Chain A
Amino acid sequence: MKKDILREAEYWYNFDRDIFYNRKAKKAFSLEFVDDKSEEEIQLRIQENTNGNGWTFYFNSPPSEGVKNILEQVLG
């Protein structure tokens, strides 16, 4: 199951924002993205290399800069 895949990869759930996040990997998945995409795609995104400097958000609709800023503050 998709949520098990995220748990095994040490993603936590933020109840206020409905996102799964991993601070070390600096990646966050929206609940909608997780629900809509396949297990394979979630797995691929978890393994995907990012530059690691800033957060990467996996959303169905890419978040605006304003939304990213707020979420980055929330996630620390």
Chain B
Amino acid sequence: MTKERTPEDQLREEYFDLLPEITRVALQLEAEIRFYTLPILHSLKRHEQLIVESRIKECESAINTLRDKQEGRTFDPQNQDGYTLMKLPDLAGVRVLVFPKSRLLEVDLLLRHRFSEWISKPVIDDFGVKLAPKYYGFCKGVSRRVLGEYQVVPMLLGLFWKVEHSAMYKFKAVATFEEMKKHRASVESALAQFEEGIESFIQTYTEPPHETS
């Protein structure tokens, strides 16, 4: 007897059909962002940083993201054709980690100009505070099926998210606990203050450039 195909089977097939395009979108987006931000990279001061990272969402992670959107995290077996990974905006993603904040604003402005047709969907914390700009859209001439996404993130916050994501990945209920929301907000606020502290120290104690007469 043939086992019935589940929505997960259908989504796995879709993922591997899309994978070459996902790869091309990630490569294209990373290359474009590296190219556009080159002038900023070359003008960074010794303490400033700009790191461009791309990643391709893995098959099971993509399916899990879609499953997370279903109540009871269960796909309806009678609704096979109703699910598609093409709705996910982050199959191909680029994260730009920047320090300090003044540079982040510069990078955001520059990229927003280059990707003016992309839709803004900033990362917001549980209390409505905007943490990082984020955009998604199509890379022209590369794919009309796979969306790309990029975000510009304060360096320390981005590094924290990497740790937080791996710790909380399977614990949606923990993440929605009021106490955990407060803990997360405390860490994010502390990291922001830490970055601001460094920036403020540098501004206060660094000799301004000499004026040439």
**Interface positions of A (Cβ within 8 A of B):** 1, 3, 13, 15-19, 28, 30-33, 35, 57, 59-61, 63-67, 70-71
Contacts and interface: CB of A to CB of B under 8 A. Distances in A.
Contacts of B71: 30, 32-33, 59-61, 63
The 4 closest A-B pairs by CB, nearest first: A66-B77, A30-B71, A64-B76, A59-B71
A59 to B, nearest CB: 5
Given A31-B172, A64-B79, A66-B78, A17 B178 contact: no
B73 interface: yes
B136 to A, nearest CB: 24
A63 B76 CA distance: 8
13 contacts: A3-B177, A13-B173, A17-B72, A18-B68, A28-B72, A31-B172, A31-B173, A59-B72, A63-B74, A64-B79, A66-B76, A66-B79, A67-B75
Contacts of B178: 1
Contacts of B70: 67
A18 B72 CA distance: 6
B192 to A, nearest CB: 27
Contacts of A32: 71
Interface residues of B, number: 18
Interface in B161-207: 170-173, 176-178
Given A16-B73, A17-B73, 16 more contacts: A18-B68, A18-B72, A18-B73, A18-B172, A31-B172, A59-B71, A59-B72, A60-B71, A63-B72, A63-B74, A63-B76, A66-B77, A67-B70, A67-B72, A70-B74, A71-B74
Contacts of A30: 71-72
Contacts of B74: 17, 63, 67, 70-71
Contacts of A59: 71-72
Nearest to B68: A18
Nearest to A28: B72
Contacts of B79: 64, 66
A33 B176 CA distance: 13
Contacts of B171: 15
A8 B75 CA distance: 30
A17 to B, nearest CB: 5
Contacts of B176: 31, 35
A28 B74 CA distance: 14
A31 B171 CA distance: 12
